[in-house]
Chains A and B, each alone.
Chain A
Amino acid sequence: MGSIGAKDVPVLITADGRRIDGRKADELRPLAITAGPLKQADGSAFVEWGANKVMAAVYGPREVHPRHLQQNNKAIVQCRYNMAAFSVDERKRPGLDRRSQEISKVIAEAFESVIFVEEYPRTSIDVYIEVLQANAGTRCAGLVAASVALADAGIPMVDLVPAVAVGKVADSIVLDLKKEEDNYGSADLPMALVPQSGRLVLLQMEGHMTREELHRALDLGVGGCRKIYEVMREALRTRYGADAPSPGVAA
């Protein structure tokens, strides 16, 4: 481990294997998903995951703007990931930056591979992800929110797409990094899974891991995704199950 700033590094993992917030290595932060909170959108979802708060809205399939992006054999998936100025401690300069453009792109591509885009030629499916409060793992939280929102919009998909980040913190591989772990850890590996097929539709890595660590991290992440998958399904059941208040209407 590098020694720069080492004196400021908090104790990330205690001797008995507990993390900074008391979790074990394979434990997720608390996750709550609300499907369909927005009336205006065709589909929406709100995700509270640890200290993250993310709203997703889906519009479409609808006419493509601008027109030249239209594809005559399939729908295009457009995504805008955005962090609110107040979502982090230091005010985030509003608007597009390189980071949000990259995240928007990888999320759009992840969804394009699970949505039945051929069913809606010449249309656009627009996914808006607004991060209201950020605490590491917002691209995964945004993806989870957007996935539930797409289901809420009635858009045909192969499957829901759960996502989680695995990281290397104080030489341990741990699931679902929170902010301190992300900042002071040595690797971050966000991934998104298609549970039915076991296919990964998003996989990025920052930092370094050995090959062996990477394999362990992937296993840990896939396991985490399957737990998240259940929460996502439950959110939709709550909204559309027999005793749900009313589909198609904001609560």
Chain B
Amino acid sequence: MVRIVPLSGRYIPHAGDVVVGTVTDVQGTFWLLDIGAPRWAPLHMTGTPWKIDFGETENYLRVGDSVVVAVESLDATGRIGVTMNGDGLGKLEGGTIVPISPARVPRVIGRGGSMITTLTRHTGARIVVGQNGRVWVDGSEEAMRRVAESLRLIEEEGQRSGLTERITSYLTATEAPAGPSGHAGPGPWHTPPEPARAPAEEDEETPSQDE
């Protein structure tokens, strides 16, 4: 049996991952979420903090709504079970979603969350990084724009060293003259904890899928 660890491509879910998803379908007892994985992930109503009667699912989440969920189970048929019960999980209100390559997620979080702390401190934006490469950002227009630009820089230069310093200098250079922009303070959404599986370490990227 050959196993392949791709350097790019779609998000491959792992149990325990915290991901940002978008509702694509509403059924009587569950929703289907697009989390960028090979398949849509069903979120059953028992996996939410709400008490819902049959057929009332649409009153809670509609097509197009975004949520933070955790991957709970994976089976051999590729079915992805997700839950909304847990710390930092729930529906996302407002903000915007910036898609990045799932392979770049460890870089966006940084060692021990250093990168994400930097971004939050300099912009005052609230940020949730899904393991699936979707980053939810909420704050002032200016803060969201600067975070999106930072994410673009991280994606482009993710392999080079000194990345945090370069992002810091970008953020410092674009700092609004009258104090930090955006509304600060922790919202209901915190940066998800460091992923259970070890993020890929730097400098070990070699082509593997053609062997």
* Chain A residues close to B by CB (< 8 Å): 36, 42-43, 60-63, 72, 75, 116, 120-123, 151-157, 159-160, 232-233, 236-237, 239-242, 244-249
Contacts and interface: CB of A to CB of B under 8 A. Distances in A.
Interface of B: 2, 4, 6-10, 38-40, 76-78, 101-104, 155-159, 203, 205-207, 209-210
B38 A120 contact: yes
Given A155-B6, A232-B210, A246-B155, 19 more contacts: A43-B9, A60-B10, A61-B39, A116-B4, A152-B9, A153-B9, A154-B8, A154-B9, A157-B210, A233-B207, A236-B209, A241-B207, A244-B159, A246-B158, A247-B159, A247-B205, A248-B8, A249-B104, A249-B155
A123 B39 contact: yes
A75 B101 CA distance: 23
A228 B157 CA distance: 30
B38 A247 contact: no
Contacts of B78: 120-123
A249 B40 CA distance: 24
Given A122-B77, A246-B155, A248-B104, A236 B207 contact: yes
15 contacts: A42-B10, A60-B10, A61-B10, A72-B77, A75-B38, A123-B38, A153-B9, A156-B4, A156-B6, A157-B210, A232-B210, A240-B7, A241-B206, A247-B7, A247-B205
Contact of B101 (A120, A245, A249): A249
A116 to B, nearest CB: 8
B210 A151 contact: yes
Contacts, number: 100
Greatest chain B CB density within 10 A among A61, A157, A247 is at: A247
B77 A153 contact: no
A134 B76 CA distance: 43
Contacts of B209: 151, 154-157, 236
A156 B4 CA distance: 6
Contacts of B40: 63
Pairs of residues from A and B, 10 with the lowest C-beta to C-beta distance, nearest first? A154-B6, A154-B9, A248-B101, A61-B38, A156-B4, A240-B207, A153-B9, A248-B8, A123-B38, A151-B209
Nearest to B79: A122
Greatest chain A CB density within 10 A among B7, B155, B206 is at: B7
A246 B188 CA distance: 34
Contacts of A232: 210
A214 B108 CA distance: 55
Contacts of A151: 209-210
A186 B159 CA distance: 52
Nearest to A153: B9
A60 B9 CA distance: 8
A233 B206 CA distance: 12
Contacts of A120: 38, 78
B9 A249 contact: no
B106 to A, nearest CB: 12
B204 to A, nearest CB: 9
A153 B7 CA distance: 9
Contacts of A239: 207
A98 B29 CA distance: 45
A49 to B, nearest CB: 19
B177 to A, nearest CB: 32
Greatest chain B CB density within 10 A among A116, A157, A236, A248 is at: A248
